[in-house]
């Protein structure tokens, strides 16, 4: 089990972390896995459903649920940026030895 814990801590695979959480809910270092799982989920979140799944997971430690709730607005902003970035995307190219920026 310690080997599996170390392997899980050395990966960024959300599915592997979630599997460990479900398989070993009473592991003495389960909070470390939960912390990594929440941090990676928040960093990779592409929808609010991913964040909400953590908030409403009955097994998620309360302090991490609170972290997810406080991060929700930041996630909303992050999710909104790709649309605005697409509207104002700038490109820098090199033409005739000169750098030019175009919209």
- pLDDT, residue 99, reads 53
Q: How confident is the model at residue 77 (pLDDT cuts 50, 70, 90)?
A: confident
Give the span between the Cα atoms of 43 and 53, in whole angstroms.
Answer: 14
> Would the pLDDT of 102 be above 80?
no
Higher-scoring residue by pLDDT: 35, 72: 35
Cα separations (Å) of 62 from 6, 46, 79, 81, 82? 24, 23, 25, 29, 31
> Would the pLDDT of 84 be above 90?
no
Region label for 97, one of left (φ > 0), alpha (ψ between -120 and 50) or beta (otherwise) = left
**Could you give the residue ranges of the DSSP H alpha helices within the chain?**
2-9, 14-23, 30-44, 48-55, 62-87
pLDDT digits (tens, 9 = 90+) for 11-50: 999 999 999 999 999 999 999 999 999 999 999 888 889 9
Q: How far does Cα 16 stand from its chain's mean position? A: 14
């Amino acid at each position: 089990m310690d080997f599996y814990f170390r392997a899980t801590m050395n990966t960024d695979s959300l599915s592997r972390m979630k599997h460990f959480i479900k398989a070993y809910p009473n592991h003495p270092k389960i909070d470390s896995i939960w912390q990594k799982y929440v941090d990676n989920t928040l960093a990779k979140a592409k929808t609010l459903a991913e964040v909400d799944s953590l908030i409403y997971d009955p097994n998620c430690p309360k302090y991490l649920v609170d972290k997810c709730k406080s991060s929700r607005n930041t996630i909303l902003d992050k999710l909104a940026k790709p649309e605005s970035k697409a509207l104002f995307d700038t490109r820098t190219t090199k033409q005739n030895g000169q750098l030019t920026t175009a919209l």
